[in-house]
Amino acid sequence: MSKQPFTGNPSEIIVEQLSALGVNYLFYNSGSREARFFDALHENPRINGILGLHEGTVTAMAGGYTQAKSEPAVMSVHLGAGLAQSMGQLINVWAGSLPVVTLTFVGDTGSYADRITLDLGHNVGPTSIAAPFMKANWTVLEAGGLATAIERAIKVASTPPIGPVHVAIYDRLLGPEKISTSIIEHEIPKVTAGYPDPSDIEKLAKYLNEAERPLIYVGDGAWKSGAESAIGAIAEHFGANIASMWGDLMGVSVAHPLHCGYFRGSVLDLNPDLIVCVGVRHGGSGTPDDYSLFKNSKNLIAIGPDVEIFENIPDLDLTIMADETATFELLQDLIRSENEPIKYNKKRNHARETAHQIKENGRKNLQHKSATKGSVRPLAILDAIDTTLEKAGGGYITTEQFAIPLEYVNKKENGGKVKYVRPAGGSEGYGMGAPIGTKLGASDQPVIGLVGDGSVYYSDSALWTAAHHKIPVLYVIANNGTYGIVAGQFAAAEGAMKREGKYAGVVLDGIEIVKLAESFGVEGIRVEEETKIQQSIEESLGIVEREGRPLLLDVKMPLGLPQNGQASKPFHLGKSK
């Protein structure tokens, strides 16, 4: 680490410090009271501003960037009002423990008037509303402390337990007066937890050796530590199946031949006698049933760098507080000395066959209806996207929709070359901004954003950002004309809607997504025939990559209502119910 003297106004200090730490992008929504800050951003050639028209989109872009880049992202939103607007997507960032640094500028509600336009009320502090979704919060009062505050925020965000942080800076600091300070220069630190005790590695190997139906339950800690391939190799060696934490598909690829999908379904299908939890922050529904998936397993093991990995897994037989990659690499070293690795062949074959059967059943259920003219079925869309990217040498599929589950992609040896990204928290609106951030974080990889039509309408202004900054991403809109998952739950409630077959508040009709895209400057193409979906995906991705611009495919799917369901008539002003 080195420090360099620097003289500038506080805004210039913030931007210079971000640049000195290797931050290439600031995701932001601009505001008038931060004028000097944005002027400093404009003037600095080493950091680029990526403008979002809504704070939710700004947050989703930052989250997508960290998921692709595995480095902190920095975002800025406008005052207390902007922070409040970003909350719907900050819950996704928090649920995914993503290293996003949020900068806000706040007014002084104590010294003079206690009510300031667009700021939080005087009864709460400037970090209060974001606190539930932050690993750490700080408020900066002195301009001389700005450089160290920025460096600390990025360092803390990227140190296990990785997670979002917030720095609130009083806007009265953003004056024109220049001060002298020191800028901290170093690369963004890659901090990892320590190595496990060798005796714990021996115990872990013994448990895996003796288990008949082992299941490795992976969370986002796996990819954050870079353990994906090592976990896959261990699963192959011992004949263990793999399942993912809800909200994360990157720990080990869902295309891996041993992957069985999300944890709940995998436990019900496999009835494992050993569950090894790796980098998992297990959650539930706030009911007595939250821990039921563990109760039939003979042994439980958890591996990860911090207490969050262990706190929601009861009655553990072995806890290994250590870096996930270090743990599995040491386990690989240990098993290399085995004299009879073929003794696991029966388990390996059974695990592969079981995973194959689970996936095939899911794929059949996804495509059980015959093709109909004027619409494309879910599996055809999934396979077209996945095979196109695989043929292109890999890439990213980001998703926010429920009609096309990514866990049903075709299996590939070692999981293939495509990475699958989804929002961890399930808060709607992530899907349009995330592909932009993902592309900025992985500029050499093609990116497809698979987004439901309902999700589009939460954050359609992201299309303007993609066009404005010429971010070459392909949006594939799975347009089933409904909030399909909500309609399904309405039917499951066994109430009036189910009896009448008429569903209220879920049909999204009268919206032209192609025209919407074009109004933001993005070319849109409608696809209505299943026989053309593969060609459409390939040609459109080719245009995106060759011409360096975004493009949108509006893919018409069957209406997403329960069988024989119809839209109920909405209330019209002036007419009685």
Residue 79 has a pLDDT of: 87
- The backbone torsions φ and ψ at residue 336, rounded to the nearest 5 degrees and listed phi first, read -65, -20
Residue 122 has a pLDDT of: 85
Residue where the block lists tokens 């220049």: 178
Residue 86 has a pLDDT of: 96
Contact 50, 61 (CB under 8 A): yes
Report CA torsion sign: 459, 463, 465, 466.
Answer: positive
Report CA torsion sign: 270, 273, 274, 280.
Answer: positive
Q: Residues 501, 506, 508, CA angle at the centre, nearest 5°?
A: 120
**Long-range contacts: 529-537, Cβ < 8 Å, 24+?**
529/373, 529/374, 529/376, 530/371, 530/375, 530/376, 530/377, 530/380, 533/376, 533/380, 533/381, 533/384, 534/380, 534/383, 534/384, 534/387, 534/388, 536/384, 537/384, 537/385, 537/388, 537/448, 537/474, 537/476
**What gap in Å lies between CA 98 and CA 96, rounded to an integer?**
5
Residue 576 has a pLDDT of: 59
Q: Residues 354, 355, 356, CA angle at the centre, nearest 5°?
A: 90
Per-residue pLDDT of the chain (577 residues; tens, 9 = 90+): 789 999 999 999 999 999 999 999 999 999 889 999 999 999 999 999 999 999 999 999 999 999 999 899 999 998 899 999 999 999 999 999 999 999 999 988 888 888 888 888 888 888 899 999 999 999 999 999 999 999 999 999 999 999 999 999 999 999 999 999 999 998 877 778 889 999 999 999 999 999 999 999 999 999 999 999 999 999 999 999 999 988 888 889 999 999 999 999 999 999 999 999 999 999 888 998 899 999 999 999 999 999 999 999 999 999 999 999 999 999 999 998 777 778 899 999 999 999 999 999 999 988 877 888 899 999 999 999 999 999 999 999 999 999 999 999 999 999 999 999 999 888 899 999 999 999 999 999 999 999 999 999 999 999 999 999 999 999 999 999 999 889 999 999 999 999 999 999 999 999 999 999 999 999 999 999 999 999 999 999 999 999 999 999 999 999 999 989 999 999 999 865 5
Q: Which residues contact 419 (CB under 8 A, 6 or more apart)?
A: 68, 250, 253, 394, 395, 396, 397
Residue 577 has a pLDDT of: 53
**What gap in Å lies between CA 517 and CA 514, rounded to an integer?**
5
CA distances in angstroms from 112 to 98, 108, 143, 144, listed in the order given:
37, 8, 20, 23
Residue 575 has a pLDDT of: 65
Count Cα neighbours of 409 within 13 Å in the Cβ-side half-sphere: 28
pTM: 0.95
Residue 372 has a pLDDT of: 85
